[in-house]
Structure 1
Amino acid sequence: MTRWVPLRWCVLAMMLFLFTLHRVQACEKITDLNVKHSLAGPALKVRLLLFTRASSSCGELLDLENPFDNVRLNASRPTTFLIHGYRPTGSPPKWMEDLTEAMLKRDDLNIIVVDWNRGATNINYWKVVDNTRPTATVITNFITKLQDQGATLSSIHMIGVSLGAHISGFTGANFQGQIGRITALDPAGPMFRGKSPEDRLDPLDAQFVDALHTDMDAFGYRDTLGHIDFYANGGADQPGCPKSIFSGSQYFKCDHQRSVYLYLSSLNKSCPITTYPCSSYSDYLDGRCVDCSRFGEAGCPVLGHDVIRWKETLLNLNQTTTYFTTGKASPFCKFGYSVDIVTWNTDEMWGYITITLRDQDQETTAKINHKSIKFEKFTERRLLAQFDRDIYPESITIKYSTGNVLKPRYKLRLLRIRLTPLPMERKLRPLCRYDLLLLENQEVNFRPIPCDNSNF
């Protein structure tokens, strides 16, 4: 009898192995193609992969005709669609798994990953654009089946990257704009610039549309497309991205993909990025747009997922354009100060300002050098200083420079400098210093004092 015990355990182990293997094989991922497929241009095939909290790392392929054969698909839960864009080399987007898991950590959702890689992989970009509307039709039919099971259109959120943004728009238009929310991450520009609203994403495609622009001078869309449009670092070149073609593929895709990583960072909540409504990036850098009073106690909108908290206010404002700056890497946030300077030089002066903040443990520096600044006697000049660290300083160092090597060194006489922490809703008291003399290219260190009431 004892001779059969090892055999029984072997059989059980084999059954367990086969069961585990079956479970591993059952996990579906976005179709993995390559450059050969791009050259051949495969016919469009759309697959919908379901992820839930019960299967956050294991996608389940839905039957497009009978999606509710899958018991994990629950029409009573909110549903978010994640839609990738053009895939010139056929590889699945690396960020999709991270975005899926981050969304499920925040909320109990049906996450539907729209795999249209067979259709998005083609060296002929124009053919890929042609595939966007048929892809939207597949999604539309699926959403109709969700409705039949009791789902409401307002509970649906579509997150589209590049061409995926316009697919979201076409889907929303099929439901007369009753989809709850569309988030467009650097919506595609080529073949969509100058198109009428029915041929691209526009604010009427959902109850709320937010768009993030990071590559508007290349693969992205330049103009506004939503109820709120975020322009990171002006909407074009992103810090930390390669500036030379010799950097390889990252030179082409880094700016475009930054939109996804900024949105991912917003899901983390560890470092919310405040954005500022403004008429231009230049005005924003000049510190002319730090007033958030129109948004009441909520303050200016934050970037990304949680901007939905400002929905009603933004809908009343029709279309809002906001700007913000970021760091080179996640979590990307900068910490701002509004800097107001009054000089008493008789002649007008031009130059740049560098400010360093220090507390007991750390320091951080901001260079205000996007353009030469004009200082006039008894005229307050507002600047925007943005730092990589959040410091309410015990000491401050300031340096004035002109960039003129051959001319004599100048002196900038400050009647007052005032630093106000941003956003102003933080309610930290502004810091001041009076009567400073700045010698060109020489650092001047001082201890700030709280501004008196007359200087608020």
Structure 2
Amino acid sequence: MPWEHKTILLCVLSIYITSLVAGLDKTQEDDQCTELNNTTWAEYRQLGVKLQVLYLLLTRNNMDCAHKFNQESLTRPASYFNVSRPTKVIIHGYRALGSKPSWVKELAQALLRAQDVNVVVVDWVYGASFAYNLVVENYKEVAVQISVLINQLQEHGCKLESFHFIGVSLGAHVAGFVGTLFEGKIGRITGLDPAGPMFKGADIFDRLDPSDAQFVDAIHTDSDYFGISIPVGHVDFFLNGGKDQTGCGRSRFASMYGYVICDHMRALHVYMSALNSSCPLMGIPCSTYEDFLKGQCVDCGVFKGTCPVIGLSENSGIAMSPIPKEQKLFLLTSSTPPFCAHHILLELEVSTLDKSAEVEVTLITENLGTEQRLRLQTDMTVYRTVLAHPAALCEIDSIWMTNTGARFYRQGEIHVKSVCVSEFPSLRHEAPLCVNNIHIKRGVLWSHDFVQVCSFY
């Protein structure tokens, strides 16, 4: 063989071997455990907003080891992605400090423990950091890039209705625009405290709304600052009114940033807890939080008696069709996981008073007390209020009442015609606990023990 031909053959073999090795290196690189990216202020000043959308994949086969994911991943024999399974898509939001979201893996693993699915994490930290106004200007481009991946997955057999997008803060609106691009055919979108700044007055084309998916649910926990205050889904859960969350008003955070975003991130932590916990986080439909606290909304008639729940239940547990839109749901929570609390309705009827008064009512369960102060007026005799209690109605051991109006112009003795406590929504159809005909003198503690046994059926 002439040396010229040998040289050409060697060159071809060299190129082939090089490409083969590169392909093996690329496969090995894709199979390595990876994490979301970080960016720094120095990088931002040098490069500006850099739109770089990457994807990570977690399944039950690699729960502790996220792999890089793209269309090429589907063609590899060892791909963990299964087109026959539903796919959860997690989209983080604005990253003020350029750091990667630390909660992503925890959320992905909670989803995988609850269901056998593909979990795709969208990493757009480079384009989501530092300058919020510039990030908002570019969030639709992120949605467009995600839609390209969804189209590719469709070509491999995935159905639009099998996708469930879970967007945190600004990520909720990214998910909403993906839904818009697919004309609302995406299966489900869950918004975890969807971002409020620059979105509160936005058109529905520019923000998350019920038309973006076959079912849209949202959890609101910071609607007076970083979250949006209006309904954006079929059902919108406003926890503790959607503003100030229990346990977030204390200076117990490792950083000022953690303190500032506590309310905003509570939606995420409650959602993860709902995935891990057996206690239901159930919302009650009501027009306003004030009406809810006054005990004017105690059932779920608008949903034919079935109260929506936070979590992965199909359509939040709603069985009726069509599903109502933009339904405000309210619920009270505790300050720590699993965040569940029992809604107790306290009803107090007193005889007409000559002067105003103040009564402190305490419900006791195993030395844990829930207190509620009621200000009594001369022109009212019936009072209703809702409070969060750590235990069910049948576990309440006793009720205490004190006439705390110690000043001379307050009522000296209060005649309580009846005091009743009941739990709602009534899951076990328990009768209210009531005590009648009580006289409470100023500064004297009155108490009554309940003798009851819980029966669950």
Q: TM-score range by the shorter chain?
A: 0.7 to 0.9
Q: Distance in 1 between matches of 2:347 and 2:357?
A: 15
TM-superposed deviation, 1:352 = 4.3
Deviates further, 156-165 or 329-338 = 329-338
Matches within 5 A, 1:280-429: 280-296=288-304, 298=306, 300-306=307-313, 308-313=315-320, 315-347=322-354, 349-358=356-365, 362-369=366-373, 372-374=375-377, 379-390=381-392, 392-393=394-395, 395-401=397-403, 405=407, 407-408=409-410, 410-429=412-431
Mapped to 2, the partners of 1:96 and 1:373 lie a distance apart of 48
Structure 1 stretches of 5 or more lacking a match?
1-18, 451-456
Counterpart of 1:418 in 2: which secondary structure?
A: strand
Identity %: 35
Q: Distance in 2 between matches of 1:337 and 1:412?
A: 23
The amino acid that maps onto 1:340 is E
Q: What SS does the aligned partner of 1:432 have?
A: strand
1:245 Cα deviation from its structure 2 partner: 12
Q: Give the AA of the match of 1:137.
A: V
The residue correspondences of 1:14-93 to structure 2 (distance < 5 A) are: 26-40=32-46, 41-64=48-71, 67-69=74-76, 71-93=79-101
1:55 positional shift: 0.5
- Which of 268, 277, 292 is the equivalent residue of 2:285? 277
**What TM-score do you get using the length of structure 2 for normalisation?**
0.85
Task: Please say if residues 354 and 365 of structure 1, whose CA atoms lie closer than 8 Å, have aligned partners that are also in contact.
Answer: no
Q: Distance in 2 between matches of 1:406 and 1:436?
A: 21
Shift of 1:217: 1.2
Task: Give per-residue Cα distances to partners, 1:230-285, cap 9 Å, x unaligned.
Answer: 11111111111146799611222111111100000110232222211111111111
Q: CA RMSD in A?
A: 2.7
Q: 1:130 to 1:355 in 2, by over 3 A?
A: same
Q: Show the counterpart of 2:134.
A: 127
Q: Deviations over 1:274-322 (max 9, x none)?
A: 2111111111111111123443453x22223336243443743232101
2:246 pairs with one of 236, 239, 244? 239
Residue from 418, 432, 437 that aligns with 1:430: 432
Q: Distance in 1 between matches of 2:74 and 2:369?
A: 55
Task: Please give the TM-score of this superposition, normalised by the length of structure 1.
Answer: 0.85
- Displacement of 1:349 after TM fit? 4.4
Cα distance change on mapping 1:395 and 1:328 into 2, 3 Å = closer
Following superposition, the deviation at residue 153 of structure 1 comes to 1.0
- The one-letter amino acid of 1:114's match is V
**Structure 1 position 94 matched with structure 2 position 98:** no
Distance 1:46 1:235, change over 3 A: same
The 8 Å contact of residues 164 and 188 in structure 2, kept in 1 or not, is answered as yes
Measured in 2, the distance between the counterparts of 1:440 and 1:271 equals 40
The alpha carbon displacement at 1:49 in A equals 0.5
Partner of 1:158: 165
Report the Cα distance in structure 2 between the residues aligned to 1:401 and 1:39, rounded to whole angstroms.
Answer: 63
Structure 2 residues not aligned, in runs of 5+: 1-24, 453-457
Change (3 A) 1:365 1:182: same
Does residue 1:447 correspond to 2:449, yes or no?
yes
| Structure-2 separation of matches of 1:309 and 1:236 | 22
| Contact 1:178 1:207 (8 Å CA) reproduced | yes
Q: Distance in 2 between matches of 1:54 and 1:367?
A: 48
